[in-house]
Structure 1
Amino acid sequence: MITLRVDAETMSKIRFSFSPANEAMYWLRIAATGNEHPVFGDPGPLARAALAHPDVALLASLVPPPGVTYVPDFLTPQPGLGNHCAELFDEQIATVEATSQDILEFQVGAGIQENWGKPPPDVVLRAAESGLMQKRVASGLAQFWKESLAEIWPQLQSVIDQDIAARVATLRTRGLARMLNTAHPVIAWTGDSILLDKGWCGEHDFSGRDLVLAPGVLCWPNVLVQGPDDAVLYLPAHRIGAGTSRSGNDLGAVIGDARAMLLAELEKARSTTDLARRLGYTPGTISYHLSAMHRVGLVTKTRDGRFVLYQRTPQARALLPD
């Protein structure tokens, strides 16, 4: 359990925004590792081509290894008070470029060593020691956004805007506690702390800090915390499956018809054989799709005797229409 300690000042300063820098870093991470997003799939040739730019390549060297979430915080500054993506992103790029040398060296040195369990790559150390790393990674972040995200971002931001509007409506009609307790299944409000059921233990003191709640689409389905200096709680946007495909606006267009049908069937736990019988696919095809969805956290699997049973996760439920 991760505990975020807060006080009255923190709670009075909670606000909603979104982080273009964090979204770009997640898209870059997927492109650099050759993986696929659980909803949006392959980042595409434009994102991969952008990796050839030397400043984007340096930024990609800060992508954490599998199983690790830590990215140096200076790359994803707390979003400011602007309402428009261009304004927020320009401010974040300027903040990255203005990072002090002491903060940069600590985060890419001790921060990476502690969280990755190994020293940073040599290319990162050389760039940090040169004093030019801030400018280069800021340039890389802006370049990657321009090449791979600028064109499609308005469609994605509409999902974030709708998500923020829904959360604000809950805050207005049901109160702060209800809004936090319904923010995500792993989040709970105790009255003096925000708890994150993330499978490991930790504690952050956010007392007196400005806390930003930042829904995202490309970081979906992850809940992440950053701080305490730049205090941000990143939330996966609700109903991300609606209207977010570049080729259509239904769930089948986003994740494929077979996987959409599987998620619809997995309200209750079912075996591969049962699903194959119900949907008319071969067990091998069902197993292939279930394995892919299990890797990205859309389904769970448990053994019941000689059967393995699959069931959709709360994150997967958020993809389905009401």
Structure 2
Amino acid sequence: MFTLRVDAETVARTRFSPSPASESLAWLKLTAASGRHPVFGDPGPLARASLAHPDVALVVDLLARTGDVYTPDLLTPQPGTATRPRDLLDEQIARIEATTQDDVETQVIAATQAHWSRPLAATTRRAADSGTMPRRLAAGLARFWRDALAEGWAGLHSVIERDITHRAKTIARHGVGGVLGSLHPGIAWAGDAITFDATWDGEIDIAGRDLVLAPGALSWPGFAVQVDVPDQLVLYYPAHRVGTGSGHRPGTIAQVVGAARASLLADLATARSTAELATRIGYTAGTVSYHLGALHRAGLVSKVRDGRFVLYQRTAQAVVLLEEA
């Protein structure tokens, strides 16, 4: 069990915030591993194409892999207090770029050597030693966000904001302790401490320090705690109700968008072409194309060309609509 020991000042300074940097890293890690999100599906060809950029590849090399238990905190600065989502991201990117060389040497060189089962790649070590790493990491994160997440961020942000609203209601009814004890089955509130089910034992006193609670959609369903840097405390937890519409049966949503479009949305967790969709759901290609056009104009599906095909996939806004239905 891992424990964060807190005091009244820490509880008073605890706040909620989205973390665009953390969400971007979760999506990037999934993309690099050729994985699929259990709710949001395949990252898509634009995300995969972004991996070819050398600055994005540099970020990927610092992500924890199977068997690793550490990702440098400098990649996920504590979110600030900006009210606009893009400003939050810009603040985090600026903080990555402002990382000191001492922090690079501590987190990237020393900590990875202690916690990883693999050595740093030679190109990554050269970037760390040369002093160019913070600038390149900031550029890499910004590039991946622009390529893979910018178009769908409004929908993801609405998922996160919905969670924050839910937590605010919990605080109103049950107090801060009530919400700290309800973030995840592996997280508990002990009156003067937050405890975590973990494979290691430890305790850190965070009395008097700011703590940010960051709901995750793309990092769902896991949780993580960021504690290595005193002024960068963040507890990442899975956003409320993500995944509760398992299977996304189209019956209820059909009352909103119609049966054909509901069937298309239910089948677009994976990027698919018009011809594939027509075969799968039994409509003509022309009918599918017509409905996809309407869904795209409404922001419920994205489209991207992949070779000879145009691939469609439901957006985060569509996931929200399906979850609420």
User: Normalising to structure 1: TM-score of the pair?
Assistant: 0.75
Shift of 1:244: 11
Cα distance in 1 for residues equivalent to 2:141 and 2:223: 22
| Residues 1-322 of structure 1 aligned to structure 2 (within 5 Å) | 1-227=1-227, 228-229=229-230, 230-241=232-243, 253=267
The 2-side partners of 1:26 and 1:79 are apart by: 16
Alpha-carbon distance in 2 for matches of 1:199, 1:53: 35
Tell me the SS of whatever aligns to 1:4.
strand
Q: Distance in 1 between matches of 2:75 and 2:217?
A: 18
Task: State the percentage of identical aligned residues.
Answer: 52
Query: Is the partner of 2:47 in helix, strand or coil?
Result: helix
CA distance in 1, matches of 2:246, 2:208: 36
Root-mean-square deviation (CA, aligned residues, Å) is 2.6
Deviations 1:121-147 (A, max 9, x none): 212110001111100010000000000
| In 2: Cα distance, 1:104 partner to 1:169 partner | 40
Rate the CA distance shift 1:168–1:31 in 2: closer, same or farther, 3 A: same
- Partner amino acid for 2:64? P
**Which residue matches 1:269?**
none
1:321 deviates by 8.0
How far 1:8 moved relative to its partner? 1.6
Decide whether the 8 Å contact of 2:68 with 2:117 is kept in 1. Answer: no
Tell me the alpha carbon deviations over residues 8-46 of structure 1, each in whole angstroms, 9 at most, x when there is no partner: 211110000010001101111111111222222221100
Q: Which amino acid aligns with 1:141?
A: L
Whichever residue aligns with residue 94 of structure 2, its letter is A
Contact 1:244 1:254 in 2 (8 A): no
Cα distance, 1:7 vs structure 2: 1.4
Consecutive unaligned residues of structure 1, counting only runs of 5 or more, are 257-318
- Amino acid in structure 2 at the alignment position of 1:180: L
| TM-score, normalization by structure 2 | 0.74
Give me the whole-angstrom Cα distance separating, in 2, the residues matched to 1:233 and 1:34. 26
Q: Secondary structure at the match of 1:175?
A: helix
Rounded Cα–Cα distance in structure 2 between residues aligned with 1:42 and 1:85: 23
Shift of 1:162: 0.5
Distance across 2 between alignment mates of 1:57 and 1:244: 33
Instruction: Could you tell me which runs of 5 or more consecutive residues in structure 2 were left unpaired when the two chains were aligned.
Output: 254-261, 271-321
Q: Tell me the distance in 2 between the aligned counterparts of 1:320 and 1:44.
A: 21
Q: What amino acid is the match of 1:68?
A: D
Q: Does the aligned pair in 2 maintain the 1:93–1:142 contact within 8 Å?
A: yes
Q: Secondary structure at the match of 2:215?
A: strand
Distance 1:245 1:21 in 2: 29
Q: CA 1:244 to 1:165, structure 2 compared with 1: closer, same or farther past 3 Å?
A: farther
Check conservation: 1:159, 1:243, Cα contact below 8 A. Answer: no
